[in-house]
Amino acid sequence: MDTSAPEILFSEEGICSYCVGVKYHLNKSWYPDINGTKIIAKKFMTIKKEIGNKPFDSILGLSGGLDSTVVAFQAVEHGLKPLVVHIDAGWNTNESVSNVEKVCRYLDLELHTLVVNWEEMRKLQVAYLNSRVMNQDVPQDHALFSSFYKFASEKKFKYLISGVNFTTESVQPSSWGYTYTDGKQVKYIAKKFGKFKLKDYPLLRIKDYKKILNNNYFDVVRPLDYGFYDPSKWKKSLTKLIGWKQYSAKHGESIFTSFFQSIYLYEKFGIDKRKSDYSSLILSGNMTRDEALLELQTLPIQLDARKRLIQIVASKLELTDREIESFLGGEARDHYSLPNDSEKL
């Protein structure tokens, strides 16, 4: 990490604040050791015993990415019977669709797919581009999490199995984004910059998220925070076992997220998302600093691939390549300059 994340601080010894933050979570909410392996095994056993012989003892969101795939394997390995839910927001790659199908077939898991209204999603994402705010992944992330939480609450699931983890996501600069939970701002941007009102889009306000999470509607279990998680080893194993397909980058299962992270953030804001991704892997012992620095000598995306990705995104959003390019330059608007619920976080 460097000062492209302006909130970074260094101690007199040269230790950065992200390293300090990660160490703080060790043995508090992150147990990357044999003790963690025992803790999560006990948790899985508790879930299995408590829920008993019901058709499903938990619910698990599966994107087709590595983290959610690994937790699906771990849950089944420990005897759980999760209902798998996949949210289709319109940006799945062929690889992600194939991965979801392969995982469910191999593990004999029931798959329930929730489809987001594509026309509203498309219009909302164009509105976000017109707004010029930093976090262009909000429309997709908000739809994914709100759909999942609403479904889990309605079906009264007590245990939610999550692929979120410290191993690959411990370094998250707040200055590099904005919360996806701010439904008030989502609604405003749709109306102000898209000239339309959301109808079918799964909208939640921050207070709704807090109510769901704080009232213990369900217990969010993060298996990858217990025991040593080696993403590289799992990639090789899953590729050999079920023909799982790797992505070019983290969260590469979404076409739009690939555009957002490798082109939009990098060219408009000077943010190289790989720095935080690699820093997380370094701090969890899955990558060396020298390996990361070598990777960072290359562009996030090569020019030919950049051109193809721009064309795909433009076509999906019913825009021209030139219009997409225009969003990459010019002014940027601060999320906090727009109506928001951020003070309620």
pLDDT digits (tens, 9 = 90+) for 330-342: 999 999 999 999 7
Q: How far is CA 129 from CA 31, 100, 107, 126, in A?
A: 40, 29, 39, 5
**pTM listed for this prediction:** 0.94
- For the record, the structure tokens of 171 come out as 């370094």
Give pLDDT, residue 214. 74
Q: Once rounded to an integer, what is the mean pLDDT over residues 275-289? A: 96
- Strand-pairing partners, residue 211, are none
Q: Once rounded to an integer, what is the mean pLDDT over residues 48-58? A: 93
Residue written as tokens 């959301």? 198
Q: Once rounded to an integer, what is the mean pLDDT over residues 253-277? A: 95
Q: Once rounded to an integer, what is the mean pLDDT over residues 273-298? A: 96
Whether the predicted pLDDT of 88 surpasses 60: yes
Average pLDDT over the chain reads 94
Which comes out higher in pLDDT, residue 23 or 107? 107
Give pLDDT, residue 217. 77
The rounded distance, in Å, linking the Cα atoms of 170 and 255 is 23
Which comes out higher in pLDDT, residue 106 or 206? 106
Dihedral through CA 117, CA 120, CA 125, CA 128, nearest 10? Answer: -140
Give pLDDT, residue 260. 97
Give pLDDT, residue 252. 64
Q: How far is CA 345 from CA 8, 81, 162, 340, in A?
A: 22, 34, 21, 11
Whether the predicted pLDDT of 246 surpasses 80: yes
Domain 17-331 annotated CATH 3.40.50.620: yes
Are 99 and 245 in contact by the 8 Å Cβ rule? The answer is yes
Q: Is the dihedral of CA 3, 260, 274, 147 positive or negative?
A: positive
Whether the predicted pLDDT of 345 surpasses 60: no
Give pLDDT, residue 207. 87
Whether the predicted pLDDT of 251 surpasses 60: no
Q: Sheet holding 159-161: strands in order across? A: 111-115, 82-88, 58-61, 159-161, 219-221
DSSP codes, 102-157: HHHHHHT--EEEEE--HHHHHHHHHHHHHHTBS-TTHHHHHHHHHHHHHHHHHTT-
pLDDT digits (tens, 9 = 90+) for 216-234: 778 999 999 999 999 999 9
Q: Once rounded to an integer, what is the mean pLDDT over residues 245-259? A: 81
Give pLDDT, residue 303. 96
Give pLDDT, residue 213. 73
pLDDT band at 344 (very low <50, low <70, confident <90, very high): low
Are 8 and 2 in contact by the 8 Å Cβ rule? The answer is yes
pLDDT digits (tens, 9 = 90+) for 134-193: 999 999 999 999 999 999 989 999 999 999 999 999 999 999 999 999 999 999 999 999
Give pLDDT, residue 322. 97
pLDDT band at 249 (very low <50, low <70, confident <90, very high): low
Chain center to CA of 195: 28
Q: How far is CA 112 from CA 75, 98, 155, 172, in A?
A: 17, 15, 12, 30
The domain ranges of the chain are 17-331
